[in-house]
Amino acid sequence: MSSISSAASIPVLQHDAIALKQWIKQQALALGFADCVIAKPDAQAEMPRFEEYLKRGYHADMHYLEENLEKRADPKLLVPGTKSIICVRMNYLVETPKPRYVPNEPNSAIIARYARGRDYHKIMRGRLKTLASKIKEKVGEFESRPFADSAPIFEKSLAESAGMGWTGKHTLLIHKKSGSFFVLGELFTSLDLPFDEPATAHCGSCSACIDICPTQAIVEPYMLDARRCIAYLTIEYKGIIAEELRAGIGNRIFGCDDCQLICPWNSFAQKASISDFNPRHGLNDISLLEIWQWDELTFLTHTEGSPIRRTGYQSFKRNIAIGLGNAPYSGLIVEQLIQAKSQHDDIVNVHIDWAIEQQLLKQLASQQK
């Protein structure tokens, strides 16, 4: 495990540390980060909520979340010698959505906006390494380690503790002037830097995200049941999706943005400053039937360097099958589903059978009118 030697920490006077912190923030913004704050390496405050989350089983089969709890609470155990954590965020919207509006596009394959371009994990880590190099050019050698959703870190809690926003009732971080369409990254450092102060929360009595959730996954404010969450079901989960949840999934084939789209704070959502988040292969406007035609080679080609790779080909086709079952009746959809049955595993075929049944029920209903 990497460690940060205490001998490598930078002893600076307080006024120098303040100036260095401001200079680091300027460099971060110049690299395309939308914000940069300095957090204390301490996330103990998040533990009671997280332990309750685990106790209720809301983490589904993500059993890795049960591990390394001590390191999650105390980042200094993850990277010994850490004295400050530089937290950054990157906006990923390419187009600003209409305020408080979830579009109804039943024949479209809906992919979460963060996943339509390059995999942000690589973008984030690369730019954090560049930031570390720039700091070393200024102050000399120090120890650092970048992270982008790649270790047992309470990244939202750390960012929140340093004023990057507050945790909304949907459990995502919200910034008063930028909404929530952004991703987070961290640079653990041996630098002695002054910590930023937390922001205040501004959800108030609003329950829009809870009310809009298609599968009622936000079981109470600030508590999300992954077993019902479309993002978990369509990305992380590899099994048979419960039949009672399939209608709610609709045509969302990778992730879900509904709780963000409806949030009033996203009236202030900012667009990405770099081109890496631009959609590839028309993934911002592609039909269910068109993407259903992808064979495995096409899937692998079109998702190279994309977070969509994470779901795997068979689970991806499972998700599309659900979308086709939820689409308006089409004889072509039924034909395409039947033809594909021999090409997929048993799990996908369960969803294909369901989709065919849903399509035929809609046909029958239209004939009886």
Concerning whether 149 is annotated as a catalytic residue, the answer is yes
CA distance 290 to 250: 17
CA 327 to chain centroid, in Å, comes to: 26
DSSP state of 34: S
Q: Count the alpha carbons within 13 Å of 281 in the hemisphere toward its beta carbon.
A: 20
Q: 295-300: long-range contacts (C-beta < 8 A, 24 or more apart)?
A: none
- Specify whether the CB–CB gap between 93 and 113 falls below 8 A: yes
Structure tokens at 22: 């401001």
Question: Which residue is catalytic, options 149, 196, 285, 346?
Answer: 149
184 among annotated binding-site residues: yes
259 among annotated binding-site residues: yes
Q: Count the alpha carbons within 13 Å of 156 in the hemisphere toward its beta carbon.
A: 17
The DSSP string of 155-193 is: HHHHHHHTTS-EE-TTSSEEBTTTBT-EEEEEEEE-B--
29 among annotated binding-site residues: no
- Specify whether the CB–CB gap between 90 and 183 falls below 8 A: yes
221-223-227 Cα angle (round to 5): 135
SS3 content of the chain, % helix, strand, coil (to 5): 45, 15, 40
CA distance 220 to 308: 29
What stretches of 260-350 adopt beta strand conformation (E)?
none
Helix (H, G, I), strand (E, B) or coil at 343: helix
263 among annotated binding-site residues: yes
238 among annotated binding-site residues: yes
87 among annotated binding-site residues: no
173 among annotated binding-site residues: yes
Task: Kindly give the interhelix angle for 331-340 and 346-367, rounded to the nearest 10 degrees.
Answer: 160
* Annotation: binding site: 72, 149, 167, 173, 184, 203, 206, 209, 213, 229, 238, 256-257, 259, 263
Active centre residues (catalytic): 149
* Annotation: binding site for tRNA: 238
* Annotation: binding site for cob(II)alamin: 72, 149, 167, 173, 184, 256-257
